[in-house]
Structures are given as structure tokens and as C-alpha cells.
Amino acid sequence: MSTSNWTRFNQHITRYRELGISLDISRMQFETSFFGDMESKIARAYADMDALEGGAIANPDEGRMVGHYWLRNAELAPAEQKAEIERDLADIKAFAADIHNGTITAANGEKFTRVLLIGIGGSALGPQLVSDALTDHEAPMALSFLDNTDPSGIDKVLAGLGDELATTLALVISKSGGTAETRNGMVEAKRAYEAAGLDFAKHATAITGIDSKLDNLAKQEGWIKRFPMGDWVGGRTSVMSVVGLVPAILQGVDIDQFLAGARDVDEKTRQKNTSENLAMKLALMWYHAGNGKGEKDMVVLPYKDSLVLFSKYLQQLVMESLGKEHDLDGKVVNQGVAVYGNKGSTDQHAYVQQLRDGVNNFFVTFIEVHEARQNLGANDEVEPGATTGDFLQGFLRGTRSALSESGRENMTISIPTVNAYYLGSLIALFERAVSFYASLVNINAYHQPGVEAGKKAAGSFLEVLKAARGFLADNAGTDLTATDVAKGIDADVESTYHALVHAAANASGINHTLASTPEEDTFSVEA
Ligand SMILES: O=P(O)(O)OC[C@H]1O[C@](O)(CO)[C@@H](O)[C@@H]1O
């Protein structure tokens, strides 16, 4: 390593010595003037964060406060929210104790042994990350997920539960209480419980907004429990609310430590000395790398299997927050930062070739975990003088050097180990970086207007599908093209074609005859 790299490393590593967390930005190629040039934007970002944490309507489009930082320090919250946070935390702990000790049992009187979490997006990604990162076969309850409306996916999970369904607690999570995928998962799960002779209500718990469709259903059917969600917690930042904490504690995760890790990072990154503020530095590096316009993608590479879902989690946190068409002044900006990655060194044998030699359209965030193995002293030498953990560190260092040599920017976040505390810390670090970055580029990070377009289009497609099936049935025995059907039901012809193909693939009575073009294909039902 050259002297200048070493000097730069010493200059540009920020260490929270008492927490054991550091950020090394020495391999990012910013000019020395960069931080000074950004000063006014930085000042605004700090002011925005103060206002947000102080209870301002930080999500103006939805007229909502943004309270996820209060979840780990209720003292900061307005009185009403403080009371809710404290009540929920006590309630979560009492509920978990009741489930674990058998005060609340399954309908057959036995203790619950498993959890089936039904949710999507922010109502699943956090629990998936926490479960994968922090639990193992010794967890008091195992967790399965229905996080899609894919029937074969649902079948696979339910089949995997088998007879254990009788002692499986269903946790249906939806902030809005009206998300189609989650509703469908719940309906299918309910059917499976009923098919096994089990009363779904006696196995179900809802986590949802007060008076949502789901809340009302759970109330009406007398589910075991309903945990309310405040509208001041966004889905993608809900992992430290009831959404993340209920499944976590059921699996034996130390939720107090999880919250403490986040609270400590919040505190450290609340102070306004940028050279000591890891979250602001992270946001500034995103700004620098992508020229404030997201021109470069963020590749997240944790060198630790237990963090493999972290980039998937960050995809929603970063991309749903920052991917916006308009800025806060209504100007079209098409902002965003794309995120991908899995884990090192595995990815070295997949796409790192392109990172090193191909198109330079990314920056890498390595996540280094100092502790190689919890069982220190295990005999894990794989050749004289080198352990598997030594290799893992070698590959991280090697990839960092190789990328730096070919002018690929990268930074490294280091943590001592993966546990509840440090997972909470990492999540907080990125949450705060997202908040800061949104201010640096003047966007609302807390709404998601773009998602609605796809939901509406899916709704229209289902209408076309129903009408197309009906039209085929009314014209049984006749070969019809998509154009014939589209005219008959007054729908867009391409949507009609896709609806007919889907209908034919999923019903034995509908024939699809392939011709040389989709236009000439015919569909029929037997008379
Ligand atoms: O918790 P809900 O309301 O079911 O929403 C699930 C996810 O759907 C989204 O609203 C996007 O469609 C996410 O923001 C959210 O995390």
C-alpha cells in the first residue's frame, strides 16, 4: 500500500471508539473542497433532521410526522407518541412472555411453536433481515413468511409447516391493512388452517393501523391480539416498531439491545460536527459518488453470511425513500440511488468481475465484521497458519485493493460482531443517512406515490381478466382472437391478450392455439 493511501486512511476514517463502529471513506475520490462546498446543504439537512425529530410534518404530501427515531428514544417524542411507544413496548414483552410460557396457547391447548408472518415490503423485509441475521435453530420459535401473492410460493411454505400448523401463530402485518398481496396470503393461510380443522382466529394476530380493514376484520373475528400502528411510522422504517419487534422477540431476539444500538447511533449522529457524523458522511459520499443525482449505484457487500439480506432490506429503505420524480418544490428531478449486493466473498465469484473491469457506474460499501467466529478458539485452520475467517478478511482486503487500483470508489463500515445491538446500529446509520441525503437533494423521503400506479394498473388488469373469461364462456365453442375479445369487452387489446394467455394457462377448459403472431392466436372454451 502506498504512503498516500495510508495517510488518506488515517485522515478519512471516523471511529466511534466507545461503540466499536467505524466508517472509512479514504477510497472515495472526493476533492478536499467537497465538504466545504456542501456546507449550506449540510446545514439545511441538520435543521431538517432537528425539525423532523421535533415532530414537524416532515412528510408534507401525506401530512404526517415521521417518528421512527422516537421508537428507540421515546423521550424525544411528543407526549401522545411517547405514551404509545411505551405502551407498545410493554405490550410486546407481555405478549411474547404469554406465548412463550403458554399462557396464550394454540386452539388445541398446546404452546405455539412457530410463527407464520404474512406481510410484504416494510411489513416483511425488516423481520426477514432480523430473523436471518440474529436467529438460528435454537430460537424459541421459527419464522416462516408469506410475502407475495405467488400461489406456488404460498403452497411451498404451507406444505413446509405441515402438521405444525396446529401450533403456528399467524402474524398478519399491514400498516394500511389493505395491501392485496397480504390479504391474499391471509385468505390462503386461513383456508389452510380451516382445511386442517383449525379456527384461524384462535391462531391469528394483527399488526395494523387502527380501524384499517385488517384491524376491523381481526376485531370482528376475535383474533388473539391486535397491535396498533401509528401513522407516524413509515412501512420501510417500521422494523423498530411493533412490526419488527413482535416477530423479533417471539424468536428470542434481545429487542432492548436492538433498540439500544439504534439509539446510540442516533445520538452520535445527531451532533452537527460533520467530520464526526457517520450518517452525514455516508449521505455525503452518496451525493459525491452520484453527483447528487444518483448517477452511481450503491453495491452493498457485507463480508458475513448473516448480513446477506441487508442489501435487500436497504433496497426498500433507500430506493422507496429516495426514488422520487419531484423535489419538494415540485420540480421534476427523478432522484434515486439504486442498491444491490449480497455478500462477500460469494459475490466475488459472480459480478465482482464487472465491478473491477467493466462499466464504472457504482460505488461499493463494504461491511466488515471484526469477529470471524463466535466460538473463538475453534479449530478452523484450513491450511497451516490460516483460518476460514482469515480467508474471508483476505478476500475483503483483496477486493477493496483491486477495486481501488482500478479507480472504483469504495468505503467500509466496520462493526465488531453481528448481534442485536449492531444490527440496530447499522439500520439506524442507514436510516439517518437516507434522511440526510433526502435533505441534501431536497426531496420527501417519506412518501411513495409511484407505487400507486402499479397497484391501479393491476386492478384494471383483474377487471379485464374477469371480463375476458366471461366473454369466452358466453361464446363457448368459438375460436376468438384477442382482438375479438377486446372489442367484445371494450378493453385494451394487449391487456386482453395477456389476460387470455393467463386464463388459458390456469384453467383446463380454456384452449390457447398458438399462431405465428399473438394477433393471430385464438382462444376458446369448449361448448
Ligand atoms: O404495510 P402495508 O400497508 O401492507 O404496505 C406494505 C408496503 O407497501 C408499500 O406501501 C408499497 O406498496 C410499502 O411502502 C409498504 O412497506
Output the average pLDDT for the chain.
Answer: 96
Residue 251: pLDDT over 70: yes
User: In angstroms, what is the span from residue 123 Cα to ligand 1's centroid?
Assistant: 7
pLDDT band (50, 70, 90) for residue 71: very high
* DSSP states along 189-223: HHHHHHHTT--GGGGEEEEEETT-HHHHHHHHHT-
pLDDT tens per residue, range 479-490 = 999 999 999 999
Residues contacting residue 219 through CB under 8 Å, at least 6 positions apart: 226
Atom of ligand 1 nearest to the CA of 320: 14
Q: What is the pLDDT of residue 453?
A: 81
Q: Cell for 462?
A: 383483474
Centre of ligand 1 to C-alpha 235, Å, is 6
The pLDDT, as a whole number, for residue 263 is 98
**Ligand 1 pocket: which of 62, 66, 68, 120 to mutate (most atoms within 8 A of CB):** 120
Can you give 227-292 as a three-state secondary structure string?
A: EEECCCCCHHHCCCCHHHHHHHHHCCCCHHHHHHHHHHHHHHCCCCCHHHCHHHHHHHHHHHHCCC
pLDDT by residue (tens digit) across 170-206?
999 999 999 999 999 999 999 999 999 999 999 999 9
Residues 432, 430: Cα–Cα separation, whole Å = 5
181 alpha carbon – ligand 1 mean position (Å): 10
Kindly give the distance from the C-alpha atom of residue 174 to the centroid of ligand 1, in angstroms, as a whole number: 7
For residues 411 and 285, the answer to whether their CB atoms sit within 8 Å is yes
Q: pLDDT by residue (tens digit) across 324-366? A: 999 999 999 999 999 999 999 999 999 999 999 999 999 999 9
Residue bearing cell 460505488: 363
Per-residue model confidence (pLDDT) at position 431: 98
Residue 329: its pLDDT value, please? 97
**Other C-beta atoms within 10 Å of 327: how many?**
16
ipTM: 0.98
Residue 299: what are its φ and ψ, rounded to 5°?
Answer: -100, 120
**For the segment 373-429, what is each residue's pLDDT rounded down to a tens digit?**
887 766 789 999 999 999 999 999 999 999 999 999 999 999 999 999 999 999 999
Helix (H) or strand (E) segment spanning residue 353: helix 352-357
Q: Which residues sit opposite 227 in a β-bridge?
A: 207
455 is known as an active-site residue: yes
Active site residue 349: yes
In the chain, the domains with their CATH numbers are 14-54+257-373+381-446 (3.40.50.10490), 67-253 (3.40.50.10490), 450-525 (1.10.10.10)
Residue 13: pLDDT above 50? Answer: yes
Distance between CA atoms of residues 91 and 301, nearest Å:
36
Say which residue, 58 or 527, is predicted with more confidence.
Answer: 58
Q: Does ligand 1 come within 6 angstroms of the Cβ of 179?
A: yes
**What percentage of the chain reaches a pLDDT higher than 70?**
99
Q: Residue 181 CA: which ligand 1 atom is closest?
A: 4
CB contact at 8 A, 482 and 497: yes
Which atom of ligand 1 sits closest to the CA of residue 176? Answer: 3
Q: How many CB atoms lie within 10 A of CB 68?
A: 25
By the 8 A CB rule, do 174 and 204 touch?
A: no
Question: Torsion-angle region of residue 221: left (phi > 0), alpha (psi -120 to 50) or beta?
Answer: alpha
Determine whether the shortest distance from the Cβ of 214 to ligand 1 is under 6 A. Answer: no
For position 459, what pLDDT does the model report?
87
For ligand 1, say whether the CB of 235 is within 6 Å of any of its atoms. yes
415 φ/ψ angles, rounded to the nearest 5 degrees: -130, 155
Q: Is 209 in the pocket of ligand 1 (CB under 6 A)?
A: no
Give the CA distances from residue 179 to residues 3, 147, 239, 484, in Å, rounded to whole numbers and listed in that order: 56, 11, 18, 34
Residue 250 CA to residue 232 CA, distance in Å, equals: 24
Known catalytic membership, residue 520: no
Best mutation site among 61, 123, 239, 243 for ligand 1, i.e. most ligand atoms within 8 A of its Cβ? 123
Atom of ligand 1 nearest to the CA of 455: 12
Angle at 193 between CA 189 and CA 195, to 5 degrees: 110
- DSSP character at residue 406: T
Distance 148 CA to ligand 1 centre (A): 12
3-state secondary structure of 466: helix
Query: What's the pTM?
Result: 0.96
55 vs 67: CA distance, rounded Å: 7
Query: pLDDT for 119-141, tens place per residue?
Result: 999 999 999 999 999 999 999 99
Ligand 1 close to Cβ of residue 320 (< 6 A):
yes
Distance 130 CA to ligand 1 centre (A): 18
From the candidates 219, 293, 370, 455, which is the catalytic residue? 455
Instruction: Give dist(CA 331, CA 335) in Å, integer.
Output: 11
Q: What are phi and psi of 188, to 5 degrees?
A: -65, -40
Q: Is the pLDDT of residue 306 over 60?
A: yes
Q: What was the pLDDT predicted at 2?
A: 53
Per-residue confidence (pLDDT) for residue 1, from 0 to 100: 42
Active-site residue, from 31, 75, 137, 349: 349
Ligand 1 atom nearest residue 173's Cα: 1
User: How far does residue 172's CA lie from ligand 1's centre (Å)?
Assistant: 13
Q: What distance, in Å, lies between the first and last C-alpha atoms of the chain?
A: 78
Overall average pLDDT of the 491-505 stretch: 97
- Helix 493-505 with 482-489: angle, nearest 10 deg: 110
